[in-house]
Amino acid sequence: FTGAAEWVPHDGGLKKLTAALPECRGCDLYQYAERVVPGEGPARARMMLIGEQPGDVEDKEGHVFVGPAGRLLDKALAEVGIDRSDVFLTNAVKHFRFERQGKRRIHKTPGAGHIGACHPWLDRELEIVRPSIVVVLGAVAARAVFGTGFKVTEQRGLPQVLRDGTAAIATVHPSSVVRSREYRRDFDLFVHDLRAALAQLT
Ligand code: URA
Ligand code: SF4
């Protein structure tokens, strides 16, 4: 893939960025998804959360984290006392990647090529918002911001720094908690990591 760089505006704010996003042809995913899903939240947010890619519901509705993973995330944020409207929510990859099984569209993890191709959008979001803390949700987002070799299971909840020096905390993806057979434990661990992120702000 050629990557998103040539479609990403070098100036302007979130409005300009969001307006440019639907034109992106940086990888093949735009061909299959219903729509692109931009990051959302205040440009002045102090916390940015980075997910994997839009899911089935997000692809239909055009907003980040509005499906089952989003509901779990909302619940966990509420538990920590973070208002969803105060944080910037985005994804490492902006188009939904899936496989068809009959009428159903089954989530398919984006490849390294998709993560790399889409990275210029994420970089620009980071430049515009300049969050004080980044919460990295799951292995795909971790790959996008830390590169390969980062192990979420080993490093979750521990202070990290991004390449540009921004403070970060990695945790699991909320959809893994949704699917967990030890839901209570995994939900509490997820909340614990979000608390660690919040503690970096104060
Ligand atoms: N999962 C993600 O990583 N992002 C979303 O927006 C929804 C589900
Ligand atoms: Fe562009 Fe990212 Fe969509 Fe690929 S996934 S077409 S790089 S916005």
Indicate the residue type of 153: T
Q: How far apart are CA 84 and CA 82, in angstroms?
A: 6
Asked if residue 131 has its Cβ within 6 Å of ligand 1, the reply is no
* DSSP 8-class letter at 2: -
Q: What is the pLDDT of residues 142-191, one digit of tens each?
A: 999 999 999 999 999 999 999 999 999 999 999 999 999 999 999 999 99
DSSP 3-state of 92: coil
Q: Counting Cβ atoms within 10 Å, is residue 158 exposed (0-12), middle (13-18) or buried (19+)?
A: exposed
pTM score: 0.98
ipTM tops the 0.90 cut: yes
Q: What is the pLDDT of residues 186-199, one digit of tens each?
A: 999 999 999 999 99
Q: What is the pLDDT of residues 1-33, one digit of tens each?
A: 899 999 999 999 999 999 999 999 999 999 999
Q: What domains can you pick out in the chain, each with its CATH number?
A: 5-199 (3.40.470.10)
Q: How far apart are CA 121 and CA 38, in angstroms?
A: 9
Determine the residue of 34, 35, 64, 71 to mutate for testing ligand 1's pocket, defined as the one with the most ligand atoms within 8 A of the Cβ atom: 64
Asked if residue 174 has its Cβ within 6 Å of ligand 1, the reply is no
- Ligand 2: atom nearest CA of 7 is 1
Residue ranges around ligand 2 (CB below 6 Å): 4, 24-27, 29-30, 36, 93-95, 114, 117-118, 121
